Amino acid sequence: MNEPRYPYKEMSFEEDIAKLNEFYFFREFTFSENTFRKSPTEEVELADNIVWLDEPLIVYQLKERQPPSNTNSEKEQKWFKRNIIDSAKRQIRDTLDYLQNHSNIQIQNHRGHIFDIKVTSLDSIHKLILYKAHECLPECCRNLKHHRSQTAGFIHLISSDDYSGIVKTLLTPAEVADYLTFRETLVSKWEEDTLNLPEQALVGQYLSGDSEHRPNLHFIEYLRLLEHKAEEWDLSGIISIFLDRITTGNPPADYYYIVREIAKLKRNELREFKTRFKLSMDKAKINEFTLPYRIALPRTSCGFVFIPLTHDFLERRQQFLQNLTYAHKYDQKLPKCIGVSFAPEEDGWYSVEWCYIEFQWEYDQELENMLKQSNPFREVQVAELPQYTFGAEE
């Protein structure tokens, strides 16, 4: 995954965070123009930045310090208290109030598409205050990892540099959201220990998968040894051109259902997706018949089926795609399923079509008999997939 490159211009702190989120979390799920009409005569801001796939939702309040030349640690501490602990916390509280009490909040993502934002529970919202402080800000402020509000609950306090490091280490929106859950649990359980540790130690402990032991500096080693191997799982290229290439369904509506489920995947799940995607693509390119590949993910309650087609099946392509997507959904007892078919074209190229199905699973005797008599799938094997890989210690 390459670093983002933008035409040179001096960007504000808000623009920096919006561009960072857009690059790693995609334009589809990044919102930075978030005003709405609270009443016919009053327009308010929901949050400085929002990342919204489905659940959870991440809301950001951003604070940047531009101090006078004669500043000192005492003045910077007062700024931190006034702007971070008081003002930003109040803005977070207002955001939660808007989400809870206003049923028609429309915001526009970086694709230019407008959505009615809805949350089923305020507990599914990660609240972040990101700040860009002056070097005179004392360590007692920099070390704070959170603020607990009586009305807004747990609020993450993270410096801009630390946030950038988190995103560029975890790389996927699903993992960043998962880390925030882990971080809240860790800080709540070991508040004094985390207070005196750098953010890198908390990220390293998340990478290790160890939530039981007391946080310490040794967990930073996991950051040093982490092997991204992004070429094995990165799907940003597919997602970035998805809307322009989609050939079925009703874009952008169906498109968002599909790309959202892909964006919810962690890198170990993305690796399995990409492996099957590439296998199907290769089979289609050479017009070779093979059974569909598939995966089912209990964590997101969604399945994927990958269908390589030969020239013989092209006349019934959409029927095959829909039937096999439905069959995989039924076979794995899932509420959601995404099918993708690959068909050969001239000169070794291939085309891709997608299908999204969502409804509650119900017993179907006819389909049950069909799957028993002529199952079109390979057998599904249960596997525990390691999320991260680490190099050997020197």
CA dist., res. 314 & res. 266, Å (int): 33
**From 1-15, 28-42, 241-255, the region with the lowest mean pLDDT:** 241-255
Q: How many CB atoms lie within 10 A of CB 102?
A: 15
> Quick one: average pLDDT of 50-70?
92
pLDDT digits (tens, 9 = 90+) for 96-136: 999 988 888 999 999 899 999 888 777 889 999 999 999 99
Better-scored residue on pLDDT, 178 or 42:
178
Position 10 scores a pLDDT of 62
* Local confidence band at 242 (pLDDT 50, 70, 90 cut-offs): low
Position 247 scores a pLDDT of 46
Q: List, in order of start, the domains of the chain with CATH numbers.
A: 13-227 (3.40.91), 232-373 (no CATH)
Backbone angle region of 304, left / alpha / beta, with phi > 0 → left and psi within -120 to 50 → alpha: beta
CA dist., res. 88 & res. 146, Å (int): 12
From residue 149, how far is each of 11, 56, 57, 89, 226 by CA, in Å?
31, 19, 18, 8, 35
> Quick one: average pLDDT of 232-239?
84
Q: For the whole model, what pTM was predicted?
A: 0.91
* Local confidence band at 394 (pLDDT 50, 70, 90 cut-offs): low
Position 382 scores a pLDDT of 87
Among candidates 371, 377, 352, which has minimal Cα distance to 293? Answer: 377
Among candidates 41, 54, 392, 42, which has minimal Cα distance to 224? Answer: 392
